A and B are shown apart, each in its own frame.
Chain A
């Protein structure tokens, strides 16, 4: 075993586990057993990814957090050893380049242009509008046929309407960018299809920024167009790239938390009952943190490159080597969370890394939190008889997606 841990890349091909790994059939909410198993082997191990390269895998919560905040670690996807998720993501590393793939100080300069609207108090003012969106969608679903697909009827429109409103993207265009973002976040999409999809959305946003420059409205794209593009701080294309990140990051993630979270609660009726019966905003907020921890939907690992030699658990990651940090096993680290495989909406889960850690920790987290708090405190109370309209084994899970979730969720009531 020590050979696998320390041997040079490629020499022990048969012993280096392939990543990503498969989840167990009966445990759709748990990380793949082979991935969890790496945690028992030690803090640092190697895996083999799609292109044959063998990045380091950091298995423990404390080491993952320490590395993600370490300035010697880079998120720059242009680095020759960067462990890309797929051929198509490698192919589009230059396209749409913005702060998620930059290091400080460039990262901080761009990120700070958009942090204001995501501050806690600013997002809190959006709560009544989010509540209205959620209530209207539930009305619509209750008035429609049974069973309904919770994903299309509810989980996707909630974050999509919210982020469109915030950015100033006409919601009428949602079919256009939702079909394209579905292509973008599947590991299976062919490279040329992905490149076209991304270019189309960025072109669309570029044109939209042009319109916001000419006729500003009360929205984030207009504000950024006036403050950053008109003053020469950003080019129109750079703002379109940023808008693209916000649009895509802002709805697929939250939508998956809504649908997968609902399924997890339906499968754990005692936990669902606690949520449904509580009127305590603190309990609801805590339940959101626990579901974020337990489900850790961004299951494709944070990916980085070491810029200098870094010591981890007695071993050395050399400068230039690739690093993978799978938060789903950090969130199940028994050193940090007692009985980590249990969903317990009353535990204090606030230390989870479902939003990442370090300078790239999710910019949209305050918004995602409010959306999920409103959803989880409204949906099950308004539809107390909500139930799965199929067998859980027949639910199509997004095993191949960059973000985990369900493709559809037939529900009845």
Chain B
């Protein structure tokens, strides 16, 4: 799985961090998404899919 995020679209909702905190973080100054791991291990995949599903800005793309 390859993860990409679009920081321009991101609205800083934090939903991705709640779903998969080992893969996503937020910038300190404005809460915009930071990708911690672009190729998460298999045990993370469900959580990452959940993050992409609930992201309100559709800012998370997955290539599986």
Within 8 A of A (CB), among B7-64: 11-15, 17-19, 21, 25-32, 50, 53-54, 56-58
- What 6 pairs across the A-B complex have the smallest Cβ distances? A115-B12, A115-B31, A361-B56, A119-B31, A120-B14, A119-B26
In angstroms, Cα B31 to Cα A120, docked, is 8
Shortest beta-carbon distance, A252 to chain B, in Å? Answer: 20
Is A91 an interface residue, CB under 8 A from the partner?
Answer: no
In angstroms, Cα B12 to Cα A249, docked, is 17
Pair B14/A365 contact, Cβ less than 8 Å: yes
Using CB atoms and an 8 Å cutoff, list the residues of chain B in contact with chain A: 11-15, 17-19, 21, 25-32, 50, 53-54, 56-58
Interface string of A78-122 (1 = CB under 8 A from B): 000000000000000000000000000000100111011011111
Q: How many residues of A contact B (CB 8 A)?
A: 27
Pair A356/B56 contact, Cβ less than 8 Å: yes
Pair A115/B30 contact, Cβ less than 8 Å: yes
Q: A121: which B residues are within 8 A, CB to CB?
A: 17, 25-26
- Closest-by-CB residue of A relative to B18 is A120
A112-B12, A119-B14 known; A350-B54 Cβ under 8 A: yes
A111-B11, A111-B12, A121-B26 known; A116-B31 Cβ under 8 A: yes
Pair B14/A366 contact, Cβ less than 8 Å: yes
Pair A365/B13 contact, Cβ less than 8 Å: yes
Within 8 A of B (CB), among A360-411: 361-363, 365-366, 369
In angstroms, Cα B14 to Cα A118, docked, is 8
In angstroms, Cα B54 to Cα A350, docked, is 8
Is A69 an interface residue, CB under 8 A from the partner?
Answer: yes
Is A216 an interface residue, CB under 8 A from the partner?
Answer: no
Pair A112/B30 contact, Cβ less than 8 Å: yes
- Closest-by-CB residue of A relative to B8 is A108
Within 8 A of B (CB), among A304-362: 350-351, 355-359, 361-362
